[in-house]
Amino acid sequence: MHYFSTNRVSPHVSFRDAVLNGQPDDKGLYFPSDIPRLEADFVDRLPDMANEQIAFDVIRPYVAGEIPDGTLFEICSETVNFDFPLVPITDRISTLELFHGPTLAFKDVGARFMSRCLRHFSQDNKEKTIVIVATSGDTGGAVAAGFHGVEGIEVVILYPKGKVSKVQELQLTTLGGNVTTLELHGNFDDCQALAKHALADSELQSKVHLTSANSINVARWLPQQFYYFFGLKQSQGEPPVISVPSGNFGNLASGILAHISGLPVKKFIAACNANDVVTRFLETQNYEPHESVATLSNAMDVGAPSNFVRILEIFGNKFVDLKEKLESVSISDEVTAQTMREVYKETGYILDPHGAVGYRALADHLKTEPNSRGFFLETAHPVKFDSVREIIGTFGATPPSVEELYLKQKVSTEMDNDYGALREVLLSKI
C-alpha cells in the first residue's frame, strides 16, 4: 500500500511518510492507492468480535506492515478502549454515541490512533516533531489529550477566538507542557488556511519537522472507520441509513471508505448546518466554497471542507455514483433547536446541536422510506455545548472530567490572522 496526492503532483509515499508529512507538497491530500476489501464473512462475524480486533483487521491493510502486528494491535486496543453504544431513540432511529472517550468527542479515536503511530515512528528521530492542528471545537481537545506528555513531540493548536464553547476551550487551553494554544482573531477556515500554509512552507520544513493532526492526516482520518463497524455490530436487520453531522467531511469520508471496503450501508446522509457547500453541490454539480457561517453546531462551521475531495476520489469523481450513495441536507439553527426540544420532550434523550442536525436529517429521510431504519452519529457530549442548557434547560449530569476542567487556569496566546506570527511560534519550538 502506498499513498498518492489527490492533486497528482507530489510523489507517492508510504504510510509512515504520509503520517509524518501530514500533507503532500502540492497541497492535496494523501489517499490510499488501493481500497482494501474485507473478507467475505467479516460482517457476519462482527457480533462475536472484540472491538480491538475489528479495528486491527480494518486498519492493518492501510499500514502495510510498517508497524509490527503486535504493536499495531496494541495501538488499536488503546485507541478503542471505551464504549461506543448504539442507543435507540425511536423504533426506527438510534444514535451511535461516540463521546465516551477522554475528551467526550468522536475525535478521540483518530487522535489516539495518530498519537500512538507518531510515537512509534518518532522513537528513533533525534529531532522534535511539531504537530499543528486547526480546530473548530473538538479536534484540538482530542489532539491535545492524545499527544500531551509524548516525548519528542510538540503540539501547536489554532482555534478561532470566541467561536468554541467554554468546555471545548478549557480542554484546549489547560494542559500546558508540550501543548501550545493559539487563539486566532478569525474563523476556523482562517485557522485551517494558516495550518496548511505552514505545512506547505518548504523553507520552514527544512528547519523543523512539521506534521498535521487534522483529519487531512491519514492517521487521523482512516481509524474513523472503526466505529461504523461498531455501529453495524450492534444493529439488526437490513443495511442502515447512516446520518453523519458534517463539517470538514473527514468523518463521512471514512464511513464511505468503510462501505466500499464491505460495510453494508443503504445510504449516507451528509447532515449540514448553514454551511451547505456540499448540499448545494449535490443539487447543482457546482462546488463553490464560501466564508463559513457561525451556527449552533459550531464544530461544523466549515465553508471549505478539506475532506470532500477524498469522497470525490472514492467515487472516481463520478457524480452519478456519488449521488446514488450520498444525499445532503442543510438544517437551520431554528430547526436544530426545535429538534433538541422535541426529542427531549418526547423521549428524554439529550441531543447536542450536531447530533440534532444528524437526527433531523435522518428523521426527514425516513419519512420517505417507511421500511428503512438507521442511526446517526452523536459526535460529542451535550455538556460541551453551552447552548444545550439554554435550549432545553439541562445538559444532564456533568462528567467528572468536565468538573475538573472548571478548576483549571486557561493559558493561551491571542494572535492575528498572520502567517508570519505563526511561523515564529513554530520556529521557537526547535
User: Catalytic site residue 345?
Assistant: no
d(CA 222, CA 250): 9
Q: Block means of pLDDT (10 residues each) for the chain, length 430 residues?
A: 96 95 91 95 96 98 95 97 97 97 94 92 80 85 88 92 89 93 93 90 88 89 98 93 96 98 97 97 95 90 93 96 96 98 98 98 96 96 93 92 91 95 93
> Strand 267-272 to strand 326-330: parallel, antiparallel, or no bridges (unpaired)?
parallel
Identify the pLDDT of residue 200: 86
Identify the pLDDT of residue 112: 94
Q: Is 320 helix (H, G, I), strand (E, B) or coil?
A: helix
Q: Is 84 helix (H, G, I), strand (E, B) or coil?
A: coil
Catalytic residue among 27, 107, 163, 367: 107
- Whole-angstrom distance between the N-terminal and C-terminal Cα of the chain? 32
Mention every residue, 6+ apart, whose C-beta is less than 8 A from residue 184.
158, 159, 160, 161, 190, 191, 194, 414, 415, 416, 417
Mention every residue, 6+ apart, whose C-beta is less than 8 A from residue 93.
359, 362, 363, 366, 373, 374, 375, 376
Identify the pLDDT of residue 152: 84
Give the model confidence (pLDDT) of 189-209 as tens digits.
Answer: 899 899 989 988 989 988 888
Contact 333, 296 (CB under 8 A): yes
Q: Is 104 left (phi over 0), alpha (psi -120 to 50) or beta?
A: left
Identify the pLDDT of residue 127: 77
Q: Where are the domains of the chain?
A: 83-105+221-400
What the block records as the C-alpha cell of 76 is 488499536
d(CA 361, CA 406): 34
* CATH 3.40.50.1100 applies to domain 83-105+221-400: yes
Phi, psi of 130 (to 5 degrees): -105, 125
Identify the pLDDT of residue 64: 83
Identify the pLDDT of residue 215: 86
